[in-house]
Structure 1
Amino acid sequence: MIKISCVIITYNEEKNIQQCLESILKVADEVILVDSYSQDKTVALAQNMGARIFYKKFMGFGDQKAFAVEQASYDWIISIDADEILSEELTASILAIKNNPQADGYYINILTNYCGKWIKHCGWYPKHKLRLLNKNKGHINRNKVHEGFEMNNAPHSLAHLDGDLLHHSYNTISEHSRKIQLYTELAAKHYAENGISISLLKIIFGPRWTFFYHYIIRKGFLDGYWGYVLCKNISYESFIKYTKIRLYARQYKKTGVVA
């Protein structure tokens, strides 16, 4: 039977961390929690539940997760966020493969709750992400935002697990707005530092296409009122990101730094 290390990064997650750990400890043999110096009870709650705690100044999601993986005792790693819990079906799927894994990495489906509504369309479901793998066969990329596992170039096999990872990240519109500002800031700086800019035409028409794609093509209208709100916010996020990329790219070209 394989043993699994779970890696989680946190900052002020006291409202989520207990439920998250109760869920993941059904399948994980250890929990590695890397905290960015939370100001609440996150660390105390996690310690009481047996998590191994490490501290690291936040320099981007990828760096935090990669550091967490480096602390893991076991080869098999599952990566989750503090606002995610395993469905019963997913728990059973992971327990089953612990006895005899048939692949080097496993995709897990993410089901997101948006302001109380489970989103089944909008391009958000099904959303398969590589979240469980043998670290000898893959690694965490170091993207500042939207980090994730990637397999190495060596031969490997992949499979999908049944069940959903239940994501409770967006409880209010205000919470989503704060995350839009954080994610777009990190993404824009990353693109600018890599010499990527955005045209004015993309800033004008890109968000319109984004809304059409998520609301019409990916059938966001089937998720009702909250589907519409979500698709508008996805469109707004693209507008903010493109605008910041253009701003920071010009700044980087002139000064060599992004403030």
Structure 2
Amino acid sequence: MKVNLSVVIITFNEELNIGRCLDSVAEIADEIVVVDSFSTDRTKEICLERGVKFVERIFDGYVTQKNFANSQSSFPHILSLDADEELTDELRQEIKVLKQNWNKDGYYLPRLTNYCGTWVQHGGWYPDKKLRLYDRRLGKWEGLLLHEEFKTTNPKSVGVLQSNLLHYSYHSIKQHLDQVNFFTEIALEEMKRRNKTTSVLTLLVKPPFKFLKMYFLQLGFLDGFAGFCISVISSYAVFVKYAKLYLYNKTRA
């Protein structure tokens, strides 16, 4: 089945990334929709320069924002991207062909992440398959506050593309550490909603296990210094998440 494709992106202060993302989809998009959370940088200006459909909406969570963004598209077949992502030439050509013969409810894309200038291929970061091509009528974004994912009504009718989606994650260790604090706050809210508890034993065991798993079992050491940093900071993030939960529960006791 031949389809028209809407590219849908949510943004907030993405002036460093959004131009690259938009340029990478210009060839294959029949429409580009950007839903922005009232950016204070040049995000809006960059988007309007490229003629996208630009909608502003207060951010109230990734799931609701992405489902709203889907509802703004003119076409049901969607490529959902983050502003810090970019299509490779190979993926662009693969999607061009797919548009002429779309025969699944959705398609996973393998995602290759750049960390502080290094392409990371181990430590559980690759292939980071994401369901980003889909028919919005056949599923929706689900999750609580974090780890949102698009789920189709028929998971068996999902294909996998071969070419990489590029993800420019962190430009510096400071940025990574800032995100740890941001995401662990969101994770804490999720755990509070689920009435989760934790213990000192968890704080002692889970962080080092996370490091050992990523750095050794998942071969993160093959990515050199980047792999080491990712493993250490990921372990630290586990500690921070459960430490925040431990203190929250302790104050309520």
Indicate how the Cα distance of structure 1 residues 249 and 140 shifts in structure 2: closer, same or farther if over 3 A, else same.
farther
Q: Hey, what does 2:160 align to over in structure 1?
A: 160
Indicate how the Cα distance of structure 1 residues 217 and 33 shifts in structure 2: closer, same or farther if over 3 A, else same.
same
Q: Hey, what does 1:39 align to over in structure 2?
A: 40
CA distance in 2, matches of 1:171, 1:102: 38
CA distance in 1, matches of 2:248, 2:148: 21
CA distance in 1, matches of 2:134, 2:245: 33
Q: Hey, what does 1:84 align to over in structure 2?
A: 85
AA in 2 matched with 1:105? G
Unaligned runs of 5+ in 1: 255-259
CA contact (8 A) 1:137 1:156 kept: no
CA distance in 1, matches of 2:78, 2:248: 35
CA contact (8 A) 1:63 1:143 kept: no
AA in 1 matched with 2:94? S
Q: Hey, what does 2:62 align to over in structure 1?
A: 61
AA in 2 matched with 1:228? F
The TM-score, its normalising length taken from structure 2, stands at 0.95
Q: CA deviation at 1:183?
A: 1.0
- Aligned to 2:205, the other structure's residue is in SS state helix
Q: Hey, what does 2:121 align to over in structure 1?
A: 120
CA RMSD of aligned residues (A): 1.5
Indicate how the Cα distance of structure 1 residues 111 and 46 shifts in structure 2: closer, same or farther if over 3 A, else same.
same
CA distance in 2, matches of 1:114, 1:62: 25
Q: Hey, what does 1:135 align to over in structure 2?
A: 136
CA distance in 1, matches of 2:93, 2:67: 27
The within-5 A match list for 1:165-204 is 165-204=165-204
- Aligned to 1:57, the other structure's residue is in SS state coil
Q: Hey, what does 1:221 align to over in structure 2?
A: 221
The TM-score, its normalising length taken from structure 1, stands at 0.92
Higher deviation after alignment, 105-114 or 48-57: 48-57
2:148 is the alignment partner of 1:147: yes
CA distance in 2, matches of 1:215, 1:57: 38
Indicate how the Cα distance of structure 1 residues 86 and 155 shifts in structure 2: closer, same or farther if over 3 A, else same.
closer
2:29 is the alignment partner of 1:20: no
- Aligned to 2:66, the other structure's residue is in SS state helix
CA contact (8 A) 1:189 1:248 kept: no
AA in 2 matched with 1:31? I
Q: Per-residue displacement from partner, 1:42-101 (whole Å, max 9, x unpaired)?
A: 011101112111112222222211111111111111111101000111111111110011
CA distance in 2, matches of 1:66, 1:142: 11
CA contact (8 A) 1:189 1:245 kept: no
Q: CA deviation at 1:142?
A: 4.3
CA contact (8 A) 1:105 1:133 kept: yes
AA in 1 matched with 2:118? K
- Aligned to 2:82, the other structure's residue is in SS state coil
